[in-house]
């Protein structure tokens, strides 16, 4: 039953990350600032929150692209999580029955 619970936990984590990806989360993005590639912090809404050149247009574009990438990963997180959650739930059900 322990293995089934681990699989179920992995599935629930995948679903959680899918929901979190859809809602957005703080992340890092790279953009070009004064001829150098620098890293900046983006907030959950896809807005630059900190780092060099955070008020520039390239920082805004980099954060928007990072936010779009997060939303694009949502279906994969949810689908993978659902498969693992179903497999884990089935395993727990079998273990309790047998």
Q: In this predicted model, what pLDDT tens digit does every residue of 17-36 receive, in sequence order?
A: 999 999 999 999 999 898 89
Reply yes or no on whether the pLDDT at 98 is more than 80: no
| Ramachandran area for residue 31 (φ above 0: left; ψ -120 to 50: alpha; else beta) | beta
* Gyration radius of the chain over CA positions: 19
Asked if the model's pLDDT at residue 67 lies above 80, the reply is: yes
Query: Is the distance from CB of 40 to CB of 62 less than 8 angstroms?
Result: yes
pLDDT at 54: 86
* pLDDT at position 58 over 80: yes
d(CA 67, CA 42): 8
Q: How far is CA 59 from CA 16, 37, 90, 96, in A?
A: 28, 11, 46, 53
- Which of 5-14, 48-57, 66-75, 76-85 has the weakest average pLDDT? 48-57
| Helix H or strand E encompassing 94 | helix 57-97
**Full-prediction pTM beyond 0.95?**
no
């Amino acid at each position: 039953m322990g293995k089934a619970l681990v699989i179920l936990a992995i599935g629930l984590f995948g679903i959680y990350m899918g929901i979190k990806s859809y809602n957005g989360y703080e992340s890092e993005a790279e953009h070009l600032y004064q001829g150098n590639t620098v890293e900046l912090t983006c907030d959950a809404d896809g807005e630059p929150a900190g780092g060099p050149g955070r008020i520039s247009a390239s920082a805004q574009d980099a954060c928007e692209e990072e936010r779009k990438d997060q939303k694009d990963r949502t279906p994969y997180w949810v689908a993978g999580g659902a498969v693992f959650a179903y497999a884990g739930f089935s395993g727990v059900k079998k273990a309790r029955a047998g």
